[in-house]
Amino acid sequence: MSLEGTEKQIAWANDIKKDVLEVFECAKPFMIKMAEDEEDLAELKYYEKLLTEEKRAKFFIDHFGYMFTKTDKAYRDTYLTNLSIVMCKVLRSIAQHDKSNNFVGIVAQDLIGAYEENKYSDLRQ
Protein backbone atom coordinates (compact mmCIF):
# COMPACT_ATOMS: atom_id res chain seq x y z
CA MET A 1 0.00 0.00 0.00
CA SER A 2 1.48 3.33 -1.00
CA LEU A 3 1.90 6.07 1.56
CA GLU A 4 0.58 9.61 1.36
CA GLY A 5 2.70 12.69 2.00
CA THR A 6 5.42 14.70 0.35
CA GLU A 7 7.95 12.88 -1.79
CA LYS A 8 10.57 13.25 0.94
CA GLN A 9 8.17 12.04 3.69
CA ILE A 10 7.15 9.03 1.63
CA ALA A 11 10.75 8.01 0.94
CA TRP A 12 11.68 8.26 4.63
CA ALA A 13 8.48 6.63 5.87
CA ASN A 14 8.87 3.69 3.47
CA ASP A 15 12.31 2.97 4.97
CA ILE A 16 10.89 3.19 8.48
CA LYS A 17 7.85 1.04 7.64
CA LYS A 18 10.06 -1.66 6.12
CA ASP A 19 12.01 -1.98 9.37
CA VAL A 20 8.91 -1.78 11.56
CA LEU A 21 7.30 -4.60 9.58
CA GLU A 22 10.52 -6.65 9.73
CA VAL A 23 10.48 -6.50 13.53
CA PHE A 24 6.75 -7.22 13.68
CA GLU A 25 6.92 -10.19 11.28
CA CYS A 26 9.86 -11.64 13.18
CA ALA A 27 7.98 -11.40 16.49
CA LYS A 28 4.57 -12.44 15.18
CA PRO A 29 4.98 -16.28 15.25
CA PHE A 30 6.20 -16.17 18.85
CA MET A 31 3.40 -13.81 19.82
CA ILE A 32 0.82 -16.14 18.25
CA LYS A 33 2.22 -19.05 20.27
CA MET A 34 2.12 -16.95 23.44
CA ALA A 35 -1.45 -15.74 22.92
CA GLU A 36 -3.53 -16.84 25.86
CA ASP A 37 -6.93 -16.25 24.31
CA GLU A 38 -8.85 -14.86 21.35
CA GLU A 39 -8.54 -11.34 22.74
CA ASP A 40 -4.73 -11.53 22.56
CA LEU A 41 -4.96 -12.73 18.95
CA ALA A 42 -7.43 -9.96 18.13
CA GLU A 43 -5.05 -7.37 19.59
CA LEU A 44 -2.18 -8.78 17.54
CA LYS A 45 -4.33 -8.56 14.39
CA TYR A 46 -5.23 -4.98 15.34
CA TYR A 47 -1.53 -4.02 15.42
CA GLU A 48 -0.81 -5.85 12.18
CA LYS A 49 -3.67 -4.07 10.43
CA LEU A 50 -2.55 -0.74 11.84
CA LEU A 51 1.03 -1.20 10.61
CA THR A 52 0.17 -2.61 7.19
CA GLU A 53 -2.81 -0.44 6.29
CA GLU A 54 -1.73 2.96 7.61
CA LYS A 55 -1.51 5.31 4.62
CA ARG A 56 -0.02 8.43 6.20
CA ALA A 57 3.75 8.76 5.94
CA LYS A 58 3.45 11.14 8.88
CA PHE A 59 2.30 8.27 11.12
CA PHE A 60 5.56 6.34 10.68
CA ILE A 61 7.72 9.46 10.89
CA ASP A 62 5.99 10.81 14.00
CA HIS A 63 5.94 7.51 15.89
CA PHE A 64 9.16 5.82 14.79
CA GLY A 65 11.21 8.38 12.87
CA TYR A 66 13.00 10.05 15.74
CA MET A 67 15.04 6.91 16.37
CA PHE A 68 15.37 5.88 12.73
CA THR A 69 18.86 6.27 11.35
CA LYS A 70 20.65 4.50 8.59
CA THR A 71 22.83 1.86 10.18
CA ASP A 72 25.49 -0.43 8.88
CA LYS A 73 25.24 -4.19 9.29
CA ALA A 74 27.28 -4.18 12.51
CA TYR A 75 24.64 -2.14 14.31
CA ARG A 76 21.54 -3.51 12.61
CA ASP A 77 20.56 -5.97 15.37
CA THR A 78 20.95 -3.29 18.03
CA TYR A 79 18.91 -0.88 15.93
CA LEU A 80 16.12 -3.42 15.37
CA THR A 81 16.06 -4.34 19.06
CA ASN A 82 15.74 -0.66 19.95
CA LEU A 83 13.01 -0.35 17.34
CA SER A 84 11.12 -3.22 18.98
CA ILE A 85 11.19 -1.30 22.28
CA VAL A 86 9.85 1.84 20.61
CA MET A 87 7.20 -0.19 18.78
CA CYS A 88 6.05 -1.70 22.07
CA LYS A 89 5.54 1.74 23.59
CA VAL A 90 3.88 3.21 20.50
CA LEU A 91 1.50 0.31 19.88
CA ARG A 92 0.53 0.13 23.53
CA SER A 93 -0.19 3.86 23.59
CA ILE A 94 -2.25 3.66 20.39
CA ALA A 95 -4.25 0.70 21.71
CA GLN A 96 -4.99 2.51 24.96
CA HIS A 97 -6.14 5.71 23.25
CA ASP A 98 -8.03 4.25 20.27
CA LYS A 99 -11.69 4.35 21.28
CA SER A 100 -12.62 1.89 18.50
CA ASN A 101 -11.23 -1.08 20.44
CA ASN A 102 -11.11 -2.56 23.93
CA PHE A 103 -7.38 -3.29 23.98
CA VAL A 104 -5.10 -1.95 26.70
CA GLY A 105 -1.82 -2.81 25.01
CA ILE A 106 -0.98 -5.98 26.91
CA VAL A 107 0.11 -7.86 23.78
CA ALA A 108 2.39 -4.97 22.79
CA GLN A 109 4.41 -5.58 25.94
CA ASP A 110 5.33 -9.02 24.61
CA LEU A 111 6.69 -7.62 21.36
CA ILE A 112 10.21 -7.04 22.69
CA GLY A 113 10.54 -10.54 24.08
CA ALA A 114 9.04 -12.02 20.95
CA TYR A 115 11.47 -10.15 18.74
CA GLU A 116 14.45 -11.11 20.90
CA GLU A 117 13.33 -14.75 20.89
CA ASN A 118 13.00 -14.94 17.11
CA LYS A 119 15.47 -12.43 15.67
CA TYR A 120 18.03 -15.09 14.78
CA SER A 121 15.53 -17.63 13.51
CA ASP A 122 15.05 -18.68 9.91
CA LEU A 123 12.09 -16.30 9.69
CA ARG A 124 14.36 -13.37 8.75
CA GLN A 125 16.05 -15.06 5.81
Whether residue 79 is contained in a domain is answered as yes
Host domain of residue 14: 7-124
Q: What is the pLDDT of residue 33?
A: 84
- pLDDT of 54 above 90: yes
Lowest-confidence segment of 41-55, 67-81, 84-98 by average pLDDT: 67-81
Q: What is the pLDDT of residue 30?
A: 82
What confidence tier does 98 reach under pLDDT thresholds 50, 70, 90?
A: confident
Closest CA to 80 of 21, 25, 31, 19: 19
d(CA 1, CA 107): 25
Whether residue 61 is contained in a domain is answered as yes
Average pLDDT in the 4-14 region?
A: 95
Whether residue 1 is contained in a domain is answered as no
Whether residue 2 is contained in a domain is answered as no
Whether residue 96 is contained in a domain is answered as yes
Output 116 or 51, whichever has higher pLDDT: 51
- pLDDT of 82 above 60: yes
Whether residue 107 is contained in a domain is answered as yes
C-alpha count within 13 angstroms, C-beta hemisphere, residue 63: 24
Domain count, the chain: 1
Average pLDDT in the 16-41 region?
A: 87
Q: What is the pLDDT of residue 55?
A: 96
Q: What is the pLDDT of residue 120?
A: 65
Whether residue 119 is contained in a domain is answered as yes
- Exposed e or buried b per residue across 85-119, where buried means at least 16 C-beta atoms within 10 angstroms of its C-beta: ebbbebbbebbeeeeeeebebebbebbbebbebbb
Average pLDDT in the 24-43 region?
A: 87
What confidence tier does 45 reach under pLDDT thresholds 50, 70, 90?
A: very high
Whether residue 70 is contained in a domain is answered as yes
Query: In degrees, to the nearest 5, what angle opens at C-alpha 111 toward C-alphas 105 and 112?
Result: 125
